């Protein structure tokens, strides 16, 4: 099962038209039809009743809608999560500093950093230089 098939399915279901779904997806109508037919073969059920230019969902199509929506949503959320990591919006960072720097200078800097990147976990290690290097 391919994401493109699920997108085509949801667009046809929404528009109740293969040609309008094709327009929404910037595809040709035959390519949308091919995606739907391939999905129907894979599922072993017809998802749409076709009567001339009229298209309606079958019971199987109605049952499949929430699953197709969840699948596409999950994939989009996954892509968004990767994008957040890529742009430094989430993740973790480990910082080592001497005790005096960690006590007097870094708290204000780290507070500003957390305001800018609330999804990034900061782990601060302080101590003597040798200890800090060893613990990092």
Domain of 102: which CATH number? 3.40.190.10
Gap between the Cα atoms of 37 and 108, Å rounded: 60
Tell me what the mean pLDDT of segment 86-111 comes to: 87
Does the global pTM surpass 0.75?
no
Same structural domain, 74 and 27: yes
Q: Which residue has the tokens 């049952």?
A: 63
Q: What is the pLDDT of residues 69-86, one digit of tens each?
A: 999 999 999 999 999 888
Find the helix or strand (DSSP H, E) in which 119 lies.
Answer: strand 119-127
Q: For the residues 41-70, what does the mean pLDDT come to? A: 96
User: Taking the CA atoms of the chain, what radius of gyration do you get in angstroms?
Assistant: 26
Tokens of 97: 């500093």
DSSP state of 45: S
Mean pLDDT of all residues in 91-117: 88
12 shares its domain with 58:
yes
pLDDT of residue 53: 80
What range defines the domain where residue 123 resides? Answer: 88-135
Do 11 and 63 fall into the same domain?
yes
C-alpha to C-alpha distance for 84 and 110, rounded to whole angstroms: 20
53 & 115 share domain: no
Please tell me which residue, 38 or 129, carries the higher pLDDT value: 38
pLDDT at 135 exceeding the cut of 80: no
Checking if the pLDDT of 44 tops 80, the result is yes
Interval 85-108 mean pLDDT: 87
pLDDT over threshold 90, residue 127: no
Sign, CA torsion 17/11/5/41: negative
Q: Report the share of the chain in percent with pLDDT over 70.
A: 100
Q: Count structural domains, the chain.
A: 2
Q: Are residues 76 and 93 in the same domain?
A: no
């Amino acid at each position: 099962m391919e994401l493109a098939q699920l997108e085509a399915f949801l667009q046809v279901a929404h528009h109740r038209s293969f040609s309008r779904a094709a327009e929404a997806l910037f595809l040709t109508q035959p390519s949308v039809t091919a995606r739907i037919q391939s999905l129907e073969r894979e599922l072993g059920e017809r998802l749409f009743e076709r009567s001339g230019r009229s298209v309606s969902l079958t019971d199987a199509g109605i049952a499949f809608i929430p699953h197709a929506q969840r699948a596409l949503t999950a994939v989009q959320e996954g892509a968004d999560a990767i994008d957040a990591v890529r742009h430094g919006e989430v993740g973790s960072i480990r910082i080592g500093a001497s005790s005096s720097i960690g006590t007097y200078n870094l708290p204000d800097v780290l507070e500003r950093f957390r305001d800018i990147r609330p999804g990034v976990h900061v782990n601060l290690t302080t101590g003597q230089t040798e200890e800090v290097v060893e613990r990092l």
